[in-house]
Amino acid sequence: MQQHDLNTVLITGAAGDIGRRLRKLFKGVYSRLRLSDIKKPADLDADEDFVAADLYDYAAVEKIVTGVDGIVHLGGFSVEGPWDVIHRANIVGCYNVFEAAYRAGVKRVVFASSNHAIGFYPRARRIGTDVTVRPDSRYGVSKAFGEALGALYADKHGLRVTCLRIGNVGDAPADLRRLSIWVSGEDIAQLVRIGLEHPDIRYEIFYGVSDNAASFWDNSNARRFGYRPQGRAEDFRAQALAAQEKRAPDAVGDRYQGGPFCSDEYDADRAE
Ligand code: 15L
């Protein structure tokens, strides 16, 4: 990885699964890691710097971004939910992070977008990062909003922004769909580091996916910036297919990249 000029990096959503992985993988990479979440992580080490913040509260967000060079914005609601929950955490919360980051002079933001921003593309179609968003849920809409907000702050205010359309982070792919979208913690960490450190980043979208033979996505944009994923979902094919056997068929979800997020609340009479 190239030289970087980041002293303090803030991770929002530090108590979540990806946050926990990055906290470990980034130890010793940046001089200071500031962690934030609405609640203190249960496994916080004595040497970790944690500040609680509700992202809906602009004044609280202002405090956590002060003195920070780069932000990894993982905070928010991470699945489908009622509109008021999504609105509070992922729309207002995301706005507060970008606005406060810009006003505080933060240089870089890596935003955790999601495959659910493009979940209604059919599995049979391989897409790049240049497609129109096709969200599969209110959650997916909030991720598309975050990507748009990132573009605004990059183009208008010079923030360097990377959006990661994350598939599914885990130790192994959990089913057939995850054979296509799985990403290891180490590969997500590699993508985040590119977003924080690569000198040529202005505004980029990468897929957060490992080197999966069945990937739905063309991730050549990430490769252009040096991404070399090490994880391969195919190494876990047998166990993923065995797990899939135990799942009920899902006529809509099995057709689309977003899976169950597509079939949830699906209005078959009107949509077909
Ligand atoms: C996501 O965006 C969620 O945060 C995660 O919990 C999984 O549901 C993942 O997508 C997925 O699509 O498997």
179-200 tens-digit pLDDT? 999 999 999 999 999 999 999 9
**The ligand 1 atom nearest the CA atom of 177:** 13
Per residue in 50-97, pLDDT (tens digit) is 999 999 999 999 999 999 999 999 999 999 999 999 999 999 999 999
Distance CA 146, CA 140 (A): 10
pTM over 0.95: yes
pLDDT of 5 higher than 90: no
Q: 116 CB less than 6 Å from ligand 1?
A: yes
Residues in the chain: 272
Q: Which of 30, 102, 121, 139 is catalytic?
A: 139
Give tens-digit pLDDT for 241-265: 999 999 999 999 999 999 999 999 9
- Token duo for residue 3: 């030289």
Distances (CA, A) of 63 to 13, 81, 95: 15, 28, 15
User: And the tokens for 254?
Assistant: 């099995």
52: CA distance to ligand 1 center in Å?
Answer: 24
Strand partners, 34: 10, 49
Confidence at 234, pLDDT banded by 50, 70, 90: very high
* Cα angle, residue 63 at apex, residues 59 and 65 outer, rounded to 5°: 115
Q: Specify whether 95 is catalytic.
A: no
| Residue with CA at minimum distance from ligand 1 atom 9 | 168
Whole-angstrom Cα distance, residue 143 to residue 122? 19
CA 256 to ligand 1 center in whole angstroms: 14
Tokens of 61: 């967000």
